[in-house]
Structure 1
Amino acid sequence: MAESSRTITPVPTVTGLLREIRPWQWYKQGVMFLGIVFSKNLLDLDAWINLLVGVAAFTAIAGAAYIFNDINDLEEDQKHPEKRHRPIASGQVSVPVGAAFGLLLAAIGFGAAYSLGPLFLGVLLAYLSQNVLYSLYLKRIVFVDVLIVAIGFVLRAIAGVVAIDVYLSPWLIVSTFLLALVLALGKRRHELEITTDPGETRRVLGAYSENDVDQLLVMTMSTLLMAYSLYTFFRTNSAMMVTLPLAFFGVFRYHHLVHTTGIAGQPKYLLTDGPSIANLLLWIGLVVAVLYDLPSVAIEVIR
């Protein structure tokens, strides 16, 4: 009777499927917009259309990857203090329904990707493949687990560039990789703090210690700031150096939050931190002003 009741009340299943594709994680696709900004194509309508199609495709494939991961990690997630509330782990969504929805998302994502050309489709295939390998094996290898997460962000950045067919700067790759690695290490540190038996909730966590992660965080943050500084010095308008204090503040702020709050567990909460939001908006404003030479444009308009 209980089983019958579940089948005639689809609302919990639908809301569960929505939670499975993690709408709160969609901010990660924001990395795809870096290419259109730094290639100076912000006013190109065709580029925007292609980019938005690419973002939709990537979001669908990411949703399929999340579902695959949750099905594969079902037993492990049920022991985790936070992940046990995920729809598949909690039983809100059955495995067959989740699998069918994941296949539908994959079909939609690859269909949209195909419309952007074989290169974009290849990037998306690479992203899905690395997620499958991560779920099946790589997440159990210490250090490799965080590196794979960072590579996922790099593939997003590459996808954003490929979608609009512009030059792929190696500085974009390096900076994206290092920033993502900082966030991944911060998340691992949070997981170590909230679990009494790290190895039980996530096997690889047993190989980490808070001290190790803290040292890796400092190393990666230092390298990130150095890479960004070199980019502003040598690879673009020297006026980009005015953005350095904002870049340093953003990294310093995150380091502070990692050690004083639980914000590292869900990087999306950075979008609720007032100083971080204000700093990000200022950084975006300065970057656009410098790259698009807005002061000169304003002077010409006034004249």
Structure 2
Amino acid sequence: MARAHTDETRFVGTLSGLLKEMRPWQWYKQSVLLLGLVFSRSLFDPVAAANVILGIVAFCAIAGTTYIGNDILDIEDDRNHPRKKHRPIASGQVPIAVAVSFAFLLFVGGLAVSWSLGPLFLLVVCTYLVQNTLYSLVLKDIVIVDVMVIAVGFVLRAIAGVVAIDVYLSPWLVVCTFLGALMLALGKRRHEMVVSDDPAASRATLAEYTEETLDQLLVVVLAALLVSYSLYTFFRGNPWMMSTLPFAFFAAFRYHFLAHTRDVGGDPKFLLGDRPFLANLAVWGLLVVAVRYEIPVRLLEVIA
């Protein structure tokens, strides 16, 4: 009886560990796929919305595969990290053989869903996989390249969202997504350097970065992001879009403030727990939808 209870406990612990390895708290990153849906004015198209949801499911599965692969490759480094040493694979909660088998199932499932959305979507997903593999094997140890590759991963997500619904890919979407993701990646590196007693032991590139350098890069990227978004609003042909600029500036400035005062840079999801940021994001999103779907123009026509 005691042995059966022990086996059941181990089984439940392994399942719990596999779920943690999929990083469900990181699934918010797949929301980038929604950008194409919103800005292409396809938000209320049920077919387009269904395709994007399937795309998000595919990326969650593929991302789970890469997370497990990274944790297996980084098992020794993670054991030296103050937070990552508690991850299921690094702590021994999930055996490596079980993790590999589960990653394979996620891989097959993710590719199957991707194929259902078309060959081009599958190509984007495969590119994302190659990019993550190169990052895990080589690129994560090259200073500056490491954060740029992370940003490219978000760009691929944005492209996937556009491909899933077969609409025009705006260069502004690519540029703003890249700069926004790069800003978050730099903030994460800065956080890792600040909280770790021996940064180089947990991540090789942290031996080459300095806190001052990361702060300077963060400011440069933040400025470039705001300029790019401003230019986007200027050249979209709809003057109402410029009304979203104060909210974009507040979001960027708020992140910079919190990254330096409350250490949210380590995981941007903590931004969603900041009420001013969340309120600003909600109003910004509603305003973007209102402008892109020409609600102010229609209201003026009704009033006139």
TM over 0.5, shorter chain = yes
Superposition RMSD in Å: 1.6
SS at the partner of 2:157?
helix
In the alignment, what sits opposite 2:230? 229
SS at the partner of 2:191?
helix
Distance 1:60 1:270 in 2: 24
In the alignment, what sits opposite 1:33? 34
In the alignment, what sits opposite 2:120? 119
Which sections of structure 1, spanning at least 5 residues, go unmatched? Answer: none
SS at the partner of 1:80?
coil
How much does 1:301 deviate? 6.5
AA partner of residue 276 (structure 2): P
In the alignment, what sits opposite 2:183? 182
Distance 2:150 2:237 in 1: 28
Distance 1:86 1:176 in 2: 29
How much does 1:302 deviate? 7.5
- Structure 1 stretch 45-54 or stretch 177-186: which is displaced more? 45-54
SS at the partner of 2:205?
helix
In the alignment, what sits opposite 1:194? 195
Which sections of structure 2, spanning at least 5 residues, go unmatched? Answer: none
- Assess, with a 3 A threshold, how the Cα gap between structure 1 residues 6 and 226 changes in structure 2: closer, same or farther: farther
Distance 2:98 2:76 in 1: 18
TM-score by length of 1: 0.96
In the alignment, what sits opposite 2:274? 273
- Assess, with a 3 A threshold, how the Cα gap between structure 1 residues 151 and 236 changes in structure 2: closer, same or farther: farther
Distance 1:119 1:66 in 2: 24
Deviations 1:7-57 (A, max 9, x none): 443111011000000000000011100001100111111101111111101
In the alignment, what sits opposite 1:261? 262
AA partner of residue 73 (structure 2): N
In the alignment, what sits opposite 1:137? 138
Distance 2:8 2:290 in 1: 55
Distance 2:6 2:76 in 1: 22
Q: Does residue 208 of structure 2 align to residue 207 of structure 1? A: yes
How much does 1:3 deviate? 10
In the alignment, what sits opposite 2:49? 48
Name the count of aligned residue pairs. Answer: 302
Distance 2:223 2:21 in 1: 35
In the alignment, what sits opposite 2:283? 282
AA partner of residue 166 (structure 1): V
How much does 1:98 deviate? 0.6
